[in-house]
Structure 1
Amino acid sequence: MATVTLRPTAEGDLIQNYVYPTDGVHWDKVDEATPDEDATYVHRYGGVVGAWGEDNSELENLPGGVGTITNVRITVRVRRIAQSPGQVGVANIGRGVRVNGSSYYSTFGTTNDSYFDTGVDYVTNPDTGVAWTISDVNSLQSLVRNKFVNYALFQGGFTSSRCTQVSAVVTFDPILAPTGTTDPATSVAANSSTLNGTLDDDGGEACDCGFEWGLTDAYGNTTPTQSRTTGQTFAQAISGLSPGTTYHFRVVVTNTAGTSYGADRTFTTLGVLSTVTTDPASGVGMVLANLNGTLDDDGGLACDCGFEWGLTTAYGNTTPTQSRTTGQTFSQAISGLDLDTTYHFRASSNNV
Structure 2
Amino acid sequence: MFRLNNIKQNILIVAIAALLTGCGGGGSTDSTIDSTINLKPVSVPADTIDVTENSATIDLTNWLEKSYTVTEVKYDYITNNNYGSSITINDTESTVTLVNLESSTTYHYQIIGVDNNGKKISNKEDILTFTTKPALQTEPAPIPLTINSISDSSTTENSTLITWELSNYATGQVEYGITNNYGNFSTKETSFNYNKHIQLLSNLKPDTTYHYRVISTDENGNTVISDDQTFQTLPAPTEPIVTEPAPSEPIITEPIVTEPVPSEPIVTEPAPIPLTINSISDSSTTENSTLITWELSNYATGQVEYGITNNYGNFSTKETSFNYNKHIQLLSNLKPDTTYHYRVISTDENGNTVISDDQTFKTLSSCQSGPAQHLGQVKDTTSDTGLVDVTVTIAGCSTKTDANGFYRLNNIVENQNAVVTFEKEGYLLGSTKIQIKELSGDSTPSTNYLEYALDTYDTEWSFDSQTSVDDTHINIPASVYTTTDGNPYSGVVSVALEIQDVTTDLGKRIFSGSFEGQNTYGEIQQFVSHGLISLLCKDANGNLLNFAEGSSATLTFDAVSSMDGANIIPLWYYDYDQGLWIEEGYAELQADGTYHGEISHPGTWSLSQPIENTPGIYRGYILNVDGLPMSDVRVYAIGDNWVSSDLSTDANGLFELEVIPDSSFQLKAYNYKDNYEAVYNGTIDPIASGVIVGN
Structure 2 length as normaliser, TM-score? 0.19
The structure having more radius of gyration, on CA atoms, is: 1
Q: Which has the higher contact order (CA 8 A, sep 6+)?
A: 1
Structure 1 length as normaliser, TM-score? 0.35
